Structure 1
């Protein structure tokens, strides 16, 4: 049997074909644009996602026996608001996870409704990226469009709807809406009412590994697939990546260095009362997880190398970085190019280079960018440690994990061993694995991960650098509080 994994990302939709032993047979992708109509706004046309599927899947299957495909599973960008009318037409461009237009709505939720009440209802507090503030923004700013909303969906669930005709979501993606009771794994009626929604407008909730239906006949014909192909509920991209890297069950952990960065820690039980410091969500394996999120990770490196330096060879820019030292005189970088989630929850936060001198080199600044992202990842790791979580090792995935320099720096800054999976296609691989479970090839996510996920290599931290990086981290931590007022002024003038 074959299984298709879909990774619905911010800049591209990636597809992989996997057999039941976990071997990747083929990979392809389709890119699309992101709209930035105003500073801090980020949106996308869902039609571009569907166009990517219609083009990408037939290409993926070229040269393979499509009759052997048994399931499709999608891992997708989280938190996005896709609003459909009663005819299933998209009402407005999808508002994405990294959109910051909901400052007033977040303030209303956290201050008027109150963080304590939000924690009781959902297990988390409001962040600008979450779906509920977007719903409130649409209600407040686009009331005519809001009155037409018949269905509220998340990005990957829109694709699943186009595939099956079913309105469904999974527990991991629903957890990031702030409309979901994470502890009880169901929609919060009070939060829906507060946002002007009803349960009938929300998709039916499934576990990530459950089948939500099969392909519509006309869709199967267009994609060149059998009509009986099972579609799994799928997962949010971070939960899907965790599955794809084997971060399933307590005692595991995954760090993703993609466009954004995440620290993903599976837990056996729901962690109550911590959602004001770190996200507490449902996992795709049927349990829960803690997650810290930084909005700009590998995107910081791309911005620095491509946009600022005007270069295109990232490895060449890192070639002169000496990872054997942590010189205290080197400059620092705050990676808040799109605002920040964990731990600051501040859409006004901005990037900053601090501590430059006449002796600062191009290589020093490249190093500062990589180090600043690693320090931001450490912020989330330190929160987990403060909650009593034993953080001693982690798998790593995402585009940033291809940099040996960055991985060495990250291992030393966190003081933990990093494990590189044999397969780098985290969300797409996880989506295919969820499809394999939904189609009956495996009886659980844990058994699937245990059977097919393997490691390629390990990066061990250098204990001699621990104290030097600790000192630099403490200096770095003091920079955001010092600049917070200036960031607010800068953001206010944009």
Structure 2
């Protein structure tokens, strides 16, 4: 087998994927490990951080052995979710369970932060358009307030990617794309914000050092090398935020590109060169790209594909049993129940089952199914959920356009990109073309693109991104565009009319 093999970990919300690429950045093998979290109290979401490392060791060992690449593996890196906090001692030992990014216990700390700095100033430093209990600045302050001895004993507060990097190399290091979601990182200066750390009364010396995503931070520790069944040192590249990885993996490295990822959540990413070139209104979240000299506008909505899972788990036992008998995907069965040629003009679903986050932040908002009647069936609800995510996509897409973004093409990623039915709805709702790409695993592939560049497999990212091939193109159906435009206006009217109801219901 040839040299230049690349191993990438993709630490997602619901699973860890360990992906092996060849020297042409083609997938050789993938191992997926499902994750389940602990919920000890309301708002608490935790996970045994050592289990992350056990998964990393076991899957690397298996994929290396299975593909006999002990002599050809050249580099390892990581793409990861951002806001999971892991306190460790000076030897990198975990001092408590990880506070997963979904954990929202730090409400008081978030309120304190809001009282100490205005949103405009916070945005100008961090690029984050609101203050949220999930940001690490609030999680770490919660630990200081509620577990003071642990805070004192902590040598470093690491994010998930940083923790696995330490276990691999012995280096305490992080990168700008991950830290863009910390709440204490200055995205313009690419350094820790003294002002925000002072306001939160946190110690900068308890944070890892900063290096760009593409930097080689070291080699595997000898004991890890042995665990992986390797007989020579392997380079480890810093790595990046998962959404940045998927953007690079889809060729989203220049202005004019937009990638939309419909997975558990909905995320829109568009590349920016100049932070001062847009009318951002303090509302478009901006993060550092995995590409060193660029940024990403990244709007993020907490509930998208997870709504279909919610509907499946609670209302579709018959379809689940049918899928088990026929060895089919239950979502394919549910999609067949939706009527492709008809649009239920009255049925409107608001997808804010976890609150609204973008383009308007409203934690009081909730999910709504409006317009039910005796003719409504499961297929209508399935299609209504897909339409609601498409409307949410249109809200964010329109907001980016109104903020000065020029978008030449839209590429769809994530589980939602596997559904032609859903992609056609999106095309009809937004009245523009949507592309999918041939390559799967765009998150780990984007990280592998940077790793391949470090190995000298190509001269620059443009070279490899030009080779990304379009798989399918979905064009709007003129017959449905106007109907969906009318339904979209009703969707907005419904949300706006429920503002006071959302506020009152949140008190109970």
TM over 0.5: yes
Higher mean Cα deviation, 455-464 or 248-257?
A: 455-464
Query: CA separation of 1:259/1:346 partners in 2, compared to 1, >3 Å: closer, same or farther?
Result: same
SS at match of 1:132: helix
- Number of the residue aligned with 1:135: 140
Cα distance between partner residues in 2 of 1:147 and 1:471: 57
State which of 163, 167, 172 in structure 2 corresponds to 1:167. 172
Asked whether 1:49 is paired with 2:52, we answer: yes
- Computing the radius of gyration from Cα coordinates, the structure with the larger value is 2
State which of 286, 292, 301 in structure 2 corresponds to 1:294. 301
State which of 296, 319, 326 in structure 1 corresponds to 2:336. 319
Query: CA separation of 1:103/1:371 partners in 2, compared to 1, >3 Å: closer, same or farther?
Result: farther
Q: Deviation of residue 325 (structure 1)?
A: 4.1
- Number of the residue aligned with 1:232: 237
Q: Deviation of residue 226 (structure 1)?
A: 4.7
Asked whether 1:105 is paired with 2:105, we answer: no
Q: What is the CA deviation profile of residues 396-440 of structure 1, one whole-angstrom value per residue up to 9, with x for unaligned ones?
A: 111121111111111221222211111120212122222222333
- Number of the residue aligned with 1:276: 282
Within 5 A, what are the aligned runs for 1:419-438? 419-438=435-454
Query: CA separation of 1:306/1:87 partners in 2, compared to 1, >3 Å: closer, same or farther?
Result: same
- Number of the residue aligned with 1:358: 374
Query: CA separation of 1:355/1:317 partners in 2, compared to 1, >3 Å: closer, same or farther?
Result: same
Cα distance between partner residues in 2 of 1:366 and 1:388: 34
- Number of the residue aligned with 2:17: 14
Give the aligned length.
491
State which of 213, 220, 232 in structure 1 corresponds to 2:218. 213
Query: CA separation of 1:93/1:345 partners in 2, compared to 1, >3 Å: closer, same or farther?
Result: farther
Within 5 A, what are the aligned runs for 1:442-461? 442-451=458-467, 453-461=468-476
Q: What is the CA deviation profile of residues 267-297 of structure 1, one whole-angstrom value per residue up to 9, with x for unaligned ones?
A: 1122577373121111111211101001111
Q: Deviation of residue 490 (structure 1)?
A: 4.6
Cα distance between partner residues in 2 of 1:226 and 1:338: 48
Cα distance between partner residues in 2 of 1:118 and 1:58: 43
- Number of the residue aligned with 1:88: 92
- Number of the residue aligned with 2:246: 241
Higher relative contact order (CA 8 A, sep 6+): 1
SS at match of 1:319: helix
- Number of the residue aligned with 1:387: 403
Cα distance between partner residues in 2 of 1:407 and 1:371: 10
CA contact (8 A) 2:255 2:406 kept: no
Structure 1 unmatched runs, 5+? none
Cα distance between partner residues in 2 of 1:199 and 1:173: 16
Structure 2 unmatched runs, 5+? 321-329
Cα distance between partner residues in 2 of 1:91 and 1:350: 36
Query: CA separation of 1:212/1:175 partners in 2, compared to 1, >3 Å: closer, same or farther?
Result: same
- Number of the residue aligned with 1:470: 485
Query: CA separation of 1:490/1:55 partners in 2, compared to 1, >3 Å: closer, same or farther?
Result: farther
SS at match of 2:417: helix
Query: CA separation of 1:480/1:6 partners in 2, compared to 1, >3 Å: closer, same or farther?
Result: same
Cα distance between partner residues in 2 of 1:93 and 1:315: 37
CA contact (8 A) 1:153 1:202 kept: yes
Cα distance between partner residues in 1 of 2:494 and 2:232: 56
State which of 129, 144, 147 in structure 1 corresponds to 2:149. 144
- Number of the residue aligned with 1:59: 62
Q: Deviation of residue 367 (structure 1)?
A: 1.0
State which of 355, 368, 372 in structure 1 corresponds to 2:384. 368
SS at match of 1:262: strand
What's the TM-score, normalizing by structure 2?
0.91
- Number of the residue aligned with 1:439: 455
- Number of the residue aligned with 2:352: 336
Q: What is the CA deviation profile of residues 234-278 of structure 1, one whole-angstrom value per residue up to 9, with x for unaligned ones?
A: 111100111111111112111111111100001112257737312
SS at match of 1:21: coil
Q: Deviation of residue 477 (structure 1)?
A: 1.9
